[in-house]
């Protein structure tokens, strides 16, 4: 079992390193409170769930988003407050005491996110595939969550690509270079799978997704809210299925390039399922032709240095892995190679 104190301290450092200073401070104080036997200890002692710190933060954030804890909300930019790392802690601690039972129940929920910033990787990859194959895209996403990134071609990237009136803008999507924006990308099918798909039209699902966005990163919340709105206008389907079953028996289709894409989900697959996905893709790759190609785009963490490369394998051909660029955990900014 991992000591919740270590979990809180680790997550505090991670938040500090990734531009979430208020969460970093709240978690550091929470770790101290845990050691001192305060309300954090009452909530977390003896628990060993994955992402325990994020469960705690997300459950409290949900109360903020529901408008039920106004004193804490004053420090949360996602509801118009001003992030103040030092002032937020007493209000946060008070919420833990006042809503102890509800927060304890919320800790049982695994966090779920759908990070729209990762569309910067996907769109760049899709443009590359469209440029190299000259074909419309059949887009299949593994671990699609609410399927927001299945609409990636409807977002606006830098001042370079996408509808100029899109509500979803990623002004610093790409740096170092630009993917082939004139590739004539056209997506003709949008289908994803997830073990727990979320419906972007469902208010409870929206609240759930927003609650796991870090409140001192309001830009992430802004683009998430915009993508949830846009999803109502651009249909896409996410089926309840594991990735291994979803791609079992996959075949390329004549006249389109079949693109299998995933971001920040591979680490959740058991090794056996990872092997099944890879075998299905390679079998489909072996059957690919110039008029029915297959592409595999992945934006997944590599190694222990928390690097996030965007990789592409394309068939027919040798299907070797090419690295197209590298991004941050939340996608943007993507450095394009
Ligand atoms: C960290 S989220 C990332 C969601 C989305 N790909 C993104 O980048 O925003 C991981 C997602 O993978 C899903 N997932 C986990 N294991 C899975 C599996 N075996 N098959 C399909 N989806 C899975 C989870 O339900 C969750 O929605």
pLDDT digits (tens, 9 = 90+) for 134-155: 999 999 999 999 999 999 999 9
263 and 149 inside one domain: yes
Residue that is last in its domain, among 55, 74, 106: 106
In a domain, 86, yes or no: yes
The whole-number pLDDT of residue 132 equals: 98
CA of 112 to the centre of ligand 1 (A): 8
35 and 122 inside one domain: no
Cβ < 6 Å from ligand 1: which residues? 112-115, 118, 142-143, 145, 193-196, 242-243, 263-265, 268-269, 273
CA distance 225 to 210: 8
CA of 265 to the centre of ligand 1 (A): 5
Q: What is the DSSP string of 132-196?
A: HH-S-EEEEEES-TT-GGGGGGGSEETTTBS-TT-S-EETTSEESS---TTS---EEEEEEEESS
| pLDDT mean across residues, the chain | 96
The whole-number pLDDT of residue 162 equals: 98
What is the average per-residue pLDDT within 73-100? 96
138 and 80 inside one domain: no
Residues with Cβ < 8 Å from 159, sequence gap 6 or more? 171
What is the average per-residue pLDDT within 47-71? 96
127 and 30 inside one domain: no
How long is the chain?
Answer: 337
The whole-number pLDDT of residue 18 equals: 85
Q: Which residue has the tokens 């997704």?
A: 209
Count of domains observed in the chain: 2
180 and 307 inside one domain: yes
Q: What digits encode the pLDDT tens for the residues 25-58?
A: 999 999 999 999 999 999 999 999 999 999 999 9
Residue nearest to atom 27 of ligand 1 (CA): 145
In a domain, 111, yes or no: no
Domain encompassing residue 132: 116-336
At residue 216, the 3 state secondary structure works out as coil
203 and 332 inside one domain: yes
pLDDT band, very low/low/confident/very high, at 231 (cuts 50, 70, 90):
very high
49 and 172 inside one domain: no
Q: What digits encode the pLDDT tens for the residues 277-318?
A: 999 999 999 999 999 999 999 999 998 777 899 999 999 999
**Percent over 70 (pLDDT), the chain:** 100
82 and 121 inside one domain: no
Q: Which residue has the tokens 């992430």?
A: 220
Index of the ligand 1 atom closest to the CA of residue 269: 19
The whole-number pLDDT of residue 21 equals: 94
């Amino acid at each position: 079992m991992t000591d919740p104190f270590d979990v809180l301290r680790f997550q505090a450092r991670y938040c500090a390193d990734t531009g979430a200073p208020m969460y970093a401070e709240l978690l550091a104080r929470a770790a101290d409170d845990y050691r001192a036997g305060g309300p954090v200890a009452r909530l977390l002692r003896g628990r060993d769930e994955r992402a325990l710190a994020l469960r705690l933060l997300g459950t409290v954030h949900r109360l903020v988003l529901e408008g039920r804890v106004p004193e804490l909300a004053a420090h949360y930019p996602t509801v118009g407050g001003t992030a103040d790392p030092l002032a937020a802690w007493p209000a946060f601690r008070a919420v833990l005491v006042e809503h102890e039972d509800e927060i304890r129940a919320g800790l049982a929920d695994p966090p779920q996110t759908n990070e729209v910033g990762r569309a910067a990787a996907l769109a760049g990859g899709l443009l590359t595939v469209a440029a190299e194959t000259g074909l419309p895209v059949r887009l299949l996403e593994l671990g699609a969550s609410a399927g927001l990134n299945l609409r990636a071609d409807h977002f606006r990237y830098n001042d370079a690509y996408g509808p100029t009136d899109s509500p979803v803008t990623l002004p610093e999507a790409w740096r170092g270079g630009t993917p082939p924006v004139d590739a004539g990308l056209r997506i003709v099918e949008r289908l994803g799978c997830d073990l727990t798909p979320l419906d972007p039209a469902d208010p409870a699902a929206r609240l759930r997704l927003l609650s796991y966005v870090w409140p001192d990163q309001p830009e992430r919340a802004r683009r998430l809210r915009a993508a949830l709105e846009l999803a109502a206008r651009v249909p896409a389907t996410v089926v309840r299925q594991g990735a291994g079953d979803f791609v079992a028996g996959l075949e390329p289709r004549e006249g389109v390039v079949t693109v299998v894409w995933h971001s920040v989900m591979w680490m959740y697959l058991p090794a056996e399922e990872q092997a099944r996905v890879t075998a299905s893709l390679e079998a489909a790759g072996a059957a690919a032709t110039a008029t029915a190609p297959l592409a595999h785009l992945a934006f997944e963490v590599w190694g222990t240095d928390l690097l996030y490369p965007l990789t592409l394998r394309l068939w027919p051909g040798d299907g070797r892995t090419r690295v197209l660029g590298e991004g941050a955990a939340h996608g943007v900014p993507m450095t394009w190679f």
